[in-house]
Amino acid sequence: MVGAGIVGASCAYALTRAGVRVTVVDRGGVASGTTGAGEGNILVSDKEPGPELELALRSNDLWRNLDEECGGFEWDPKGGLVVAETPEVLDALTTFAETQRRHVPAADADAGAPPGAAGVVASLVPAADLREFEPHLAEGLAGGIHYPQDAQVQPMLAAARLLRASGARLVRTAVERFLVSGDHVTGVRTGQGDLYADAVVNAAGTWAGSFPQAPLPIRPRKGFILVTQPFAVPPVRHKVYTAAYVTNVASDAEGLETSGVIESTQAGTVLIGASRQRVGYDTAIDYTVLAKLAKQAVGLFPVLRTAQVMRAYAGLRPYSPDHLPVIGPDHRLGGLFHACGHEGAGIGLAPATAEMVTAQVTGGRPPVDPAPFAPGRFA
Ligand SMILES: Cc1cc2nc3c(=O)[nH]c(=O)nc-3n(C[C@H](O)[C@H](O)[C@H](O)COP(=O)(O)OP(=O)(O)OC[C@H]3O[C@@H](n4cnc5c(N)ncnc54)[C@H](O)[C@@H]3O)c2cc1C
């Protein structure tokens, strides 16, 4: 396994439970990549009907199970609230939620389930009821949609707990390249020598496309987070975000895009996002972006006006050109599997990704159709 982020750790956990012996190689240690720079939401609310939503619904179930199995990573099934500034935006959100609700996961459709049977749960929250959900929300909003399935974990803890629970060996060194014999990968060359394996899983996140023998079009998409000092009673109960977030997630723009995304953590801090821009591997702090995020947050939650920011950081989301993760056997080399390119949803999608990779490595049947995620789709 190359990479000890949330995806590599989840894959290690699922593979070892299936009886596979796993060695994880990471140049920086657990969660030293994007997993250490994200928020930790497990969302169905922002997913369009289609393959990613299928993966998200499956992952949502699996995260619940993981909390029972190894826990200790601040699992919080708090739900999400998407708010609309105008009646027009509320209409658009309502239509979007309706299409999500009508989406039936393929496995359930095969079993003859009607639309909405085991899919997304979403309900309209009229303007007058918003304060029941979020007492500190600004006045004047047109309403919102409540998504009770949205949840949250602390991503670094989750990666660390899953990796530890897996029992996999962790080697801290850089993978320089894959070892290839004929058209088959036989291991990896690392800074500490060669490691041989029957299968290699590439879970190197934003850097997963850069191995010369099996390149992939994964690119960095930068995002900032502001973290407030802890509140005794955090003022935000759900993951709260504006409709612009859904549009930004689906956009291919290179330039800066921001939307108000606010939530509390179990430690009492409030996390404020979200920005997206494609500026290469640069993680420098840009105070104009931070100021914009802070202004949007105060616009939604005026109570944050006096909050002290404790820290701010940037992370690089692993962006793939069609916004779908890259999961499955490499189309050029045998013995190589990819689990990368999850962009802004890698925490949420990690368990279902791991389940799919495990089925592919061990010859099982993935519960979600793997075809839309196949690495060969870019060839
Ligand atoms: C601001 C921000 C907010 C986000 N919020 C959310 C959210 O709320 N919910 C959500 O689901 N997702 C969120 N994300 C996205 C999420 O963080 C990522 O999709 C996820 O962390 C990717 O995990 P990963 O394991 O694939 O990659 P990483 O965590 O980057 O792990 C890859 C690992 O591979 C290692 N590596 C790379 N190259 C090599 C090499 N050559 N040799 C050895 N090791 C190597 C790295 O050191 C790293 O540890 C957010 C991201 C950002 C930036």
- Least Cα distance to 273 among 314, 332, 305 occurs for 314
CB 227 near ligand 1, within 6 Å = no
Which CATH fold would you assign to the domain 78-148+220-319?
A: D-Amino Acid Oxidase; Chain A, domain 2 (3.30.9)
Secondary structure in 3-state letters for 10-24: HHHHHHHHCCCCCEE
Cα(217) to centroid of ligand 1, in Å?
16
Name residue 258's beta-bridge partners: 275
Note whether 6-45+47-61+63-68+155-217+322-378 and 78-148+220-319 share their fold. Answer: no
| Protein residue whose Cα sits closest to atom 18 of ligand 1 | 346
CA-to-CA distance for 26 and 35, rounded, in angstroms? 13
Is 272 in contact with 259 (CB distance < 8 Å)? no
* Ligand 1 touching residue 312 (CB < 6 A): no
In short, whether 277's Cβ falls inside 6 Å of ligand 1 is: no
> Which is the closest atom of ligand 1 to the Cα of 339?
26
Q: Do residues 79 and 238 make contact, with C-beta atoms less than 8 angstroms apart?
A: yes
Question: Cα(179)–Cα(185) distance, rounded to whole angstroms?
Answer: 6
Residue 26 Cβ contacting ligand 1 at under 6 Å: yes
- Nearest residue (by CA) to ligand 1, atom 33, is 3
- Check if 6 has its Cβ closer than 6 Å to any atom of ligand 1: yes
Query: Is 367 a pocket residue for ligand 1 (Cβ < 6 Å)?
Result: no
Mutate to test the pocket of ligand 1, among 39, 201, 313 (most ligand atoms within 8 A of CB): 39
Ligand 1 within 6 A of CB of 32? yes
**55: Cβ below 6 Å to ligand 1?**
no
Encode pLDDT of 340-366 as tens digits.
999 999 999 999 999 999 999 999 999
pLDDT tens digit sequence for 53-87: 999 999 999 999 999 999 999 999 999 999 999 99
> 8 CB under 6 A from ligand 1?
yes
pLDDT for the residue numbered 175: 98
Predicted TM-score of the model (pTM)? 0.96
Q: Where are the beta strands (DSSP E) in 235-378?
A: 239-242, 257-264, 270-276, 309-319, 326-329, 336-340
pLDDT at residue 137 greater than cutoff 60: yes
Given 3.20.20.80, 3.50.50.60, 3.30.56.10, 3.40.640.10, which CATH number is that of 6-45+47-61+63-68+155-217+322-378? 3.50.50.60
* pLDDT tens column, 203-221: 999 999 999 999 999 999 9
In the chain, what are the domain boundaries? 6-45+47-61+63-68+155-217+322-378, 78-148+220-319
Ligand 1 atom 21: residue of nearest CA: 35
